[in-house]
Amino acid sequence: MFCPDDTIVAVATPPGRGGIGVVRISGPAAPAIAAQLSGHPELEPRRATLARVAGAGGAIDRVLLTLFPAPHSYTGEDVVEVSAHGSQVLLRSIVQAAMDAGARLAEPGEFTLRAFLRGRIDLIQAEAVRDLVDAVTPLQARAAFDQLEGTLTARIGEADRALFDLVARLEASLDFPDEGYHFVDDMSAAREIQGIARQLDELRADALRGRLIREGVHVVFAGRPNAGKSSLFNRLAGAGRAIVTEVPGTTRDLLTETVEIEGVPVTLVDTAGLRETAGDAIEEEGMARAVAARAVAAVVLVVLDQSVPMCRDDRLLLEHTATQPRVIVANKSDLPAAWTPETAPVEAPVLRVSAATGEGVETLRAALLAAVAGSEPLRDAPAITNVRHTDLISQARTALGRAAAAAAAGTPEEFVLADLNEARSRLEEVTGVRTPDDVIHEIFGRFCIGK
């Protein structure tokens, strides 16, 4: 898929119009290609040089060329960055000129892959680059930057070093069986293994919070027509995204909007109102989609109309969502109440809100977050956010559990070592020391071109 020895080129800035766009050239021929495009045979390292670049059709643009010589560059090889005006036409012309001069178009993620292959970053940091580019909330960006800085790498390295030391002592005991040397006794080994296992448990405890911040959650609105779902949706979204009228059943399809709540990206999903239909095929399809969305929601927001008596549809909805994470609201609290949250036929808190006035909306935001995150504070960036990391650390923890039990039972060192080495292998897969090639290609294939 990738050839790490040739010279590659791509636009490094996102598509669209802007004042500046950057083309990145990386590889052994990068300085020569830049010289051919600009007529500047020598570029001073790490100093921007004003130049005019030209291709087969003549001059393209006035640019700034910056040379980052190997190994002190992003990829670890010679890199030239061309800062031009942000027109996509100009940037594509510069890329084409570089390709005409001997470069090839970079594959998705190939610049970061080269940084990984040359030891500039490990696999955790490489994945953090993508997460940092994709971040849409400050907390997502902070978590990704911490991983890019090596915080998770350091914690896994600490556990791996302790494992390596223990493995070395156990293997030394195997090397001198006749002399009866034992560099660590069974119970001491079991205690050391349990200590390392606790380090991994601390990481895993952060995993749910980390995935919540990295991946976000879906909140699906449910309720009968005219309960105020769309009005509440608009209030939470901060914009009039859903059509709101006095006519019941305005919403026929799923409508989504992503908002941020305490640093967590929350996708709000407005759905069709649930009620008996008179053979309206469009409305029936809308309700079918609403039921399907509700089934896979992280949280169901059950919207009840407090200004009218509860009906059979309300009670059925409360019954059907009883086993799901949910938040129940009594909407239209600004109107005279036909019932109260205290008299609602449900053994769960019912929040009083008004989509019209905004009363109770901030409490609702906090309740939605608590429904998925519990009482854990989300202000601090978690160390682990990636499901691949979580899965491998869990596998390592399982192997350590077996090793600790075997050591405590006095099982021969060979069997304890087998589990300890498996745990080390899983940890090394996290950082990329032993990660299979197909996994590496899958990870970097998800990057955008130019990164």
Q: Which helix (H) or strand (E) holds 266?
A: strand 264-270
Which residue's entry shows tokens 């849409």? 136
Low-confidence residues of the chain: pLDDT under 70: 1-4, 175-183, 239-253, 273-291, 374-381
What's the CA dihedral at 403, 408, 410, 415 to 10 degrees?
0
Residue 284 has what pLDDT?
57
Radius of gyration, CA atoms only, the chain: 29
For residue 245, the model assigns a pLDDT of 41
Strand 58-68 versus strand 79-85 pairing type: antiparallel
Angle (CA) 364-366-367 rounded to 5° is: 60
Q: 147: helix, coil or strand?
A: helix
**Cα–Cα distance for residue pair 59/50, rounded to 1 Å:** 14
Residue 375: predicted pLDDT: 60
Please name each of the domains of the chain with its CATH number: 8-121 (3.30.1360.120), 133-206+384-432 (1.20.120.430), 217-373 (3.40.50.300)
Q: Which residues contact 58 (CB under 8 A, 6 or more apart)?
A: none
Distance CA(322)–CA(302), nearest Å, equals 10
**Whole-model pTM?**
0.77
Encode pLDDT of 269-286 as tens digits: 888 766 555 555 555 555
